[in-house]
Amino acid sequence: MMQKLTDMHCHILHGIDDGAQSMEEMYAMLRKAAEQGIGRIVATPHATPGIERFNREKYDRALEDARAYCAEKRLDIEIFGGAEILYTDQTCRFLEDGRIPTMAGTDYVLVEFSPDVRYGSLHGALTNLLHSGYLPIVAHVERYNCLLKHPARLNEIKHELGVYYQVNCSSIIRGHDMRTRHFVNKILDWDLLDIISTDAHRAASVRVINMREAWLTLKHEFGEDYANELADGHLLFGANEENTEDAE
Ligand SMILES: [Fe+2]
């Protein structure tokens, strides 16, 4: 049986970044999430420390709007706060000052890099985050050229540092180029993947909520237990429902 899914990377909050462009679009994304059996969403608008101000007021308001809509329409979705944080030299300080959110109030942070980040910079950034007490989840790990060219580095960072990997549902569904597909197969074969998430930006056409399809693909290829393991949110919320209360 498919467990309730948890989407930990989703640009659902309206009016903050390049995600949902209106309240209506956010509502449509929430309805879609509920249809697909998503029971928890960590809303992760882009945060770019030192580049653009993270608008806390808009973020808080949009979170409230999303929660109110779920309650009103009886959508069985819990919404948590978070951010997809571009790593800059100010990221650790902004996190320490509470100017940008961690994942659902935990020590986990969803961190992204430029696709052409150098391996040394990536390694150094993850090390800095760990030294500052955070647990980095690398957002869409299939997107960085320095790892695509040298997949063995995935093992290196994982085992040497102890970080977590997120892959987008669209990359699991295999709509991507051969290079990404080959890379994602490796992560799966090596059992290095921690979570799948939608990274959804839109209610329709492109970059949509597509978690159920990814779950079904994983189930078909690797079995139901593994599909659940990558989609049930236990990394942040623990294996049982009771644990969710501690999360925020
Ligand atoms: Fe994203």
pLDDT digits (tens, 9 = 90+) for 52-76: 999 999 999 999 999 999 999 999 9
Centroid of ligand 1 to alpha carbon of 28 (angstroms): 18
pLDDT at residue 97 greater than cutoff 70: yes
Please report the pLDDT score of residue 87 as a whole number. Answer: 98
Average pLDDT of the residues in 114-129: 98
Centroid of ligand 1 to alpha carbon of 161 (angstroms): 23
**Nearest partner of 181 among 171, 167, 194, 189, judged by Cα:** 171
Centroid of ligand 1 to alpha carbon of 9 (angstroms): 6
Long-range contacts of 153-157 (CB under 8 A, 24+ apart): 153/119, 154/186, 154/187, 154/190, 154/192, 155/190, 155/192, 157/122, 157/123, 157/126
Centroid of ligand 1 to alpha carbon of 20 (angstroms): 12
Average pLDDT of the residues in 118-141: 98
Please report the pLDDT score of residue 240 as a whole number. Answer: 59
Tens digit of each residue's pLDDT (9 = 90 or more) over 7-33: 999 999 999 999 999 999 999 999 999
Please report the pLDDT score of residue 246 as a whole number. Answer: 45
Centroid of ligand 1 to alpha carbon of 152 (angstroms): 24
pLDDT at residue 179 greater than cutoff 90: no
Tens digit of each residue's pLDDT (9 = 90 or more) over 223-246: 999 999 999 999 999 975 544 444
Centroid of ligand 1 to alpha carbon of 50 (angstroms): 18
Tens digit of each residue's pLDDT (9 = 90 or more) over 182-220: 899 999 999 999 999 999 999 998 899 999 999 999 999
Centroid of ligand 1 to alpha carbon of 199 (angstroms): 5
**Nearest partner of 163 among 190, 128, 197, judged by Cα:** 128
Centroid of ligand 1 to alpha carbon of 201 (angstroms): 8
Centroid of ligand 1 to alpha carbon of 10 (angstroms): 6
Where are the domains positioned within the chain?
A: 5-234
Q: CA-to-CA distance for 119 and 187, rounded, in angstroms? A: 17
Centroid of ligand 1 to alpha carbon of 54 (angstroms): 15
Centroid of ligand 1 to alpha carbon of 171 (angstroms): 13
Centroid of ligand 1 to alpha carbon of 84 (angstroms): 6
Q: CA-to-CA distance for 140 and 156, rounded, in angstroms? A: 17
- CATH 3.20.20.140, domain 5-234, yes or no: yes
Task: Return the H-helix or E-strand segment holding 189.
Answer: helix 178-189
Confidence of residue 1 (pLDDT cuts 50, 70, 90): low
pTM of the model: 0.94
